[in-house]
Chains A and B, each alone.
Chain A
């Protein structure tokens, strides 16, 4: 049985037994306390970062209050790229026959979805920060544009994941799509930064630090990075587990539903043939009450 969670943030321990995929053993060797520690760490670091950003840090001469966004914007932007990198690396591992394992495909998908969240946050915080400098909600700043393209790449990948197809076929195609997309990211960077610099001299980069970065800002930036990194790690772990659970659900879901159906049938009309399928029900794949009712009818 799965252990009850003690708070909404801490997670149950390692995935429930039953999926014999070899790769799960690799992750099972991670101690149980790691994931909750990540979650708690993320919360603590986030709180510290917020305090640092809103209270300890003071406004700067160049950007006024907006320099406080140093705590959120660069960290989420960095994490969004890290997420994509993880997706690409996992995809590569899946494609190489020697290291192929369903777990890599699941990790790739999990990291991609978390990455979308961080990319959207990058765009939102970047837009807010840009608004402070240029007064408009969107400028074709090199980094924002690159992030927008990254979002498009992510979304395409996620759309591909949702297309129904046989499992290995889908996993392979998604892996190839991830690699095609990740190769595009550095090209995007060159293109967008040349686009903006060759045109109008040097554009002011959003995250260009003020000439005199005081220690409070440096600490804020660091805390932000730590908080976002921990949050990413925790979120990917959780999302990865959900991915595995969904895979199990796809495999076992039909038989679960059938068992529940048969159990209902057993309660209303005690026919022999439906009871005869009992042994398969006894493996306990259906919910509690129906099975109890069914077992109650057995001679």
Chain B
């Protein structure tokens, strides 16, 4: 299973390296979201700074939607799904591989967005460790749930509108917890963020497990 995961992750990342969708489209989109928030909050610097954690994670969440769409679209092109099944790869491995690829892209995005938030919203990150752990746990959870929904909606005509409707409610607690944890880091009280971090880690573990168990049935008879 792990070998297959590495294979699939490598494939997805190589495709990304060649097509550069994440860098050319998702990243600018994320920054655009940050800028739009500034317009919405009327550049009241204090409001932006206070809300920085939440705004950051909303931007990440929207970017996750795009990243998942992309990850699922790769498999829908040119009968790739059938080839995936025929290749005999372990479905759990395929799942983990895709999760890893999406997570890597998201983490890179989050680092850049974090810098954006520090600069644009005048946020000061005082608990770097907490920030890093939060991003890691939240990303893995989002990638896991998202990859499952991506495969679920794949091949359906209404995929573009269905995926956000499916993923966002499930991602809501992640948004909540990640915001709270970041807030604690920005306020310089990392201890406050501990329960939220535990929640994020639990979420990630649960959805990784769920995906490993169920991804196979999603790939069948696509």
Contact = CB atoms under 8 A, between A and B. Distances in A.
A152 B149 contact: no
Given A95-B217, A187-B199, A180 B156 contact: no
A152 B169 contact: yes
A153 B170 contact: yes
B218 A176 contact: yes
Interface residues of B, number: 35
Contact of A184 (B173, B177, B192): B173
Contacts of A175: 217
A183 B207 contact: yes
Interface residues of A, number: 32
A105 B44 CA distance: 51
Nearest to B152: A173
A90 to B, nearest CB: 15
A190 B199 contact: yes
Contacts of A34: none
Contacts of A149: 169, 172
A17 to B, nearest CB: 30
Contacts of B149: 177, 180
B206 A177 contact: no
B173 A156 contact: no
A160 interface: yes
Given A156-B165, A159-B165, A166 B221 contact: yes
B6 interface: no
Among A95, A164, A190, A191, the one with the most B-chain Cβ atoms within 10 Å of its Cβ is A191
B148 A160 contact: no
Interface string A96-136: 00000000000000000000000000000000000000000
B166 A177 contact: yes
A160 B214 contact: no
Given A160-B152, A172-B217, 13 more contacts: A160-B153, A163-B158, A164-B157, A176-B152, A176-B217, A177-B152, A177-B166, A180-B214, A183-B210, A184-B170, A187-B203, A194-B180, A198-B195
Interface of A: 95, 149, 152-153, 155-156, 159-160, 163-166, 168-169, 172-173, 175-177, 179-181, 183-184, 187-188, 190-192, 194-195, 198
30 contacts: A95-B217, A149-B172, A152-B169, A152-B172, A159-B166, A160-B152, A160-B162, A160-B166, A163-B157, A163-B158, A164-B157, A166-B221, A169-B222, A172-B217, A172-B220, A172-B221, A176-B214, A180-B145, A180-B148, A180-B149, A181-B170, A183-B206, A183-B210, A184-B173, A190-B173, A191-B177, A191-B199, A194-B180, A194-B195, A198-B192
